[in-house]
Amino acid sequence: MTELAVSSRFTDADLPVAAPKAARTRTLMLSGTPGMAEMVARGLAQDANLDVRHKPFGLADYISREDADLTGLELLVFEIRPGNDTDIAIIRELKRHFGDDLQILGVTGEALTLATARTLMEAGVAEVIPLSNTQPQADHAASLGALTTQAETTGGETRDAMVLAVCGAAGGVGTTTFALNLATLLARPDKTSKGEPARVAVVDLDFQNGVLGASIDLTDGGAYLEMLQGQANPNQSFLKRALESYAPGGFDVMAAPVTLAPLDAMTPDMVAWLIDELRLAYDYVVLDLPRVVVDWIDAVLARADRFFILGDTSVHTVRQIRRMIDLYTDDHAALPVQVVVSKEKKPGAAHVKEAEHFLGQTLATWLPRDDKTAARARAHGQPMALSGPKAPVSRAMGPVVEQIRTDFKNSNRRRA
């Protein structure tokens, strides 16, 4: 649901009307789970200060209904559905429209991950309460710091990774090579890190045809397939099993499963949960994407800090890049998309300007063809950035890496 669609559900008539001090707080409980809305509403109604009504719908389902009624609403309680981006978007729009006149609580019968809890708080949820405690007082949302959750912890300091998505516009352009080189270069300590390397993870989301793990002689231990089969949730415990350390490069790898799996085995909620958990455990997360359109790509686009599209300057590839940019930015206009020209040296100005005009952006990153270093990398089962740290490709990627590091240190960048 877009912001425009959400906004259209609200009018000035919906704004809460100031009530006399003796009036009870107008409260709405929403849940699509059979019986939950009524059960929680009964619990809330035990508080004499609350005037409670309930509806058997999830948040997004109720807001989209023609009979949705938010008139005078002061407290909204809804069932949390982890990984549901539509609910998060609606919460943000509700807070933007109503401000502090409407307080929002989430209720859950399950343990929440830390990533989910933080996302809810960022969107505007004031408090998360377990089903065993559905008698909040009128001052339930006095402070965001009062968040109550059974969230999993990461077992240490939480981080706030930049998510870097990589996709190819054509076959053979070196998407996986770029992803591995990017992870290798980001994992190296820079001049301002005081010798402490960043925590970097690279994940092969092309789990049907991906060769990221095989490129560096790593295989999946089975956890990836368990997740795709619905037998494991992508929480912090899962990450410890699913990611393997690649010591030569200083980063962790989530390789594609050995057993073939259909691309629709991954769900939007699954990939959203996975990326959110990765962001809490790493500084940089590199995602190697399949060269097809899948229904879960929107969850990636919503979380990516930067999206790299690799291609060449042939007419059909440039046209494909344009199509990809249009598709990915249609609902994510603020997504920074950067085109990387692979296996080519920068040609004459006229040729470049024509492609840049068509794509609507400057082609600033050119990765030259380097068959010698590529062959050495394949022979040793390692990224080109290790086989040739001073090779043309490594040097060409230097400005990209430095810009990412600069963005990472920006205090105004998006937070988990």
pLDDT tens-digit series, residues 311-325? 999 999 999 999 999
Q: Which residue has the higher pLDDT, 144 or 222?
A: 222
The CA distances from residue 50 to 3, 24, 273, in Å, are 30, 5, 34
Share of residues in the chain with pLDDT > 90 (%): 53
Give CA–CA dist 40/69, Å, rounded.
Answer: 19
Structure tokens at 107: 């209720």
Is 416 part of any domain? Answer: no
Identity of the highest mean pLDDT range in 81-85, 143-147, 169-173: 169-173
The helix or strand, by DSSP H or E, that contains position 237, with its residue range, turns out to be: helix 236-242
CB atoms within 10 A of CB 404: 17
310 in the same domain as 186 = yes
pLDDT score recorded for residue 227: 93
Give CA–CA dist 251/59, Å, rounded.
Answer: 39
Residue 341 CB-density burial (10 A; 0-12 exposed, 13-18 middle, 19+ buried): buried
Is 138 part of any domain? Answer: yes
pLDDT score recorded for residue 138: 32
CB atoms within 10 A of CB 114: 19
172 in the same domain as 105 = no
300 in the same domain as 390 = yes
Listed residues 114, 146, 178: the one ending a domain:
146
User: Residue 207 pLDDT > 80, yes or no?
Assistant: yes
Give CA–CA dist 381/177, Å, rounded.
Answer: 12
pLDDT score recorded for residue 395: 93
Give CA–CA dist 270/364, Å, rounded.
Answer: 34
User: Residue 192 pLDDT > 90, yes or no?
Assistant: no
167 in the same domain as 138 = no
Please count the structural domains in the chain. Answer: 2
Give CA–CA dist 253/245, Å, rounded.
Answer: 6
pLDDT score recorded for residue 389: 86
Point out which residues pair with 129 in neighbouring strands. 107
173 in the same domain as 129 = no
Q: CATH number for the domain including 125?
A: 3.40.50.2300
167 in the same domain as 91 = no
168 in the same domain as 122 = no
Is 353 part of any domain? Answer: yes
Helix (H, G, I), strand (E, B) or coil at 355: helix
User: Residue 169 pLDDT > 80, yes or no?
Assistant: yes
The CA distances from residue 48 to 18, 22, 23, 103, in Å, are 19, 11, 10, 18
The CA distances from residue 330 to 180, 277, 342, in Å, are 28, 26, 25
Listed residues 121, 146, 171: the one ending a domain:
146
201 in the same domain as 66 = no
- If pLDDT is split at 50, 70 and 90, which confidence band does 137 have? very low
169 in the same domain as 139 = no
198 in the same domain as 69 = no
Give CA–CA dist 135/89, Å, rounded.
Answer: 27
Residue among 345, 293, 288, 353 nearest 318 (CA): 353
User: Residue 83 pLDDT > 90, yes or no?
Assistant: no
Is 155 part of any domain? Answer: no
Domain that includes residue 105, residue range? 3-146
Is 328 part of any domain? Answer: yes
Residue among 381, 406, 399 nearest 249 (CA): 381
The CA distances from residue 167 to 57, 204, 275, 309, 329, in Å, are 37, 11, 16, 5, 14
pLDDT score recorded for residue 167: 96
User: Residue 404 pLDDT > 90, yes or no?
Assistant: yes
Mean pLDDT of the 124-147 span: 52
Residues 6+ apart with CB under 8 A from 389: none
Structure tokens at 45: 């109604």
Is 253 part of any domain? Answer: yes
pLDDT score recorded for residue 414: 58
Identity of the highest mean pLDDT range in 62-76, 129-143, 345-359: 62-76
- If pLDDT is split at 50, 70 and 90, which confidence band does 384 have? very high
Is 46 part of any domain? Answer: yes
Q: CATH number for the domain including 304?
A: 3.40.50.300
Summary mean pLDDT of the chain: 84
176 in the same domain as 101 = no
User: Residue 377 pLDDT > 60, yes or no?
Assistant: yes
pLDDT score recorded for residue 146: 31
Listed residues 84, 114, 146: the one ending a domain:
146
Q: Which residue has the higher pLDDT, 13 or 45?
A: 45
Mean pLDDT of the 96-125 span: 84
pLDDT score recorded for residue 8: 53
Q: Which residue has the higher pLDDT, 349 or 174?
A: 174
CB 135 within 8 A of CB 46: yes
119 in the same domain as 255 = no
- Tens digits of residue pLDDT in 230-248: 898 898 899 999 999 999 9
User: Residue 24 pLDDT > 90, yes or no?
Assistant: no
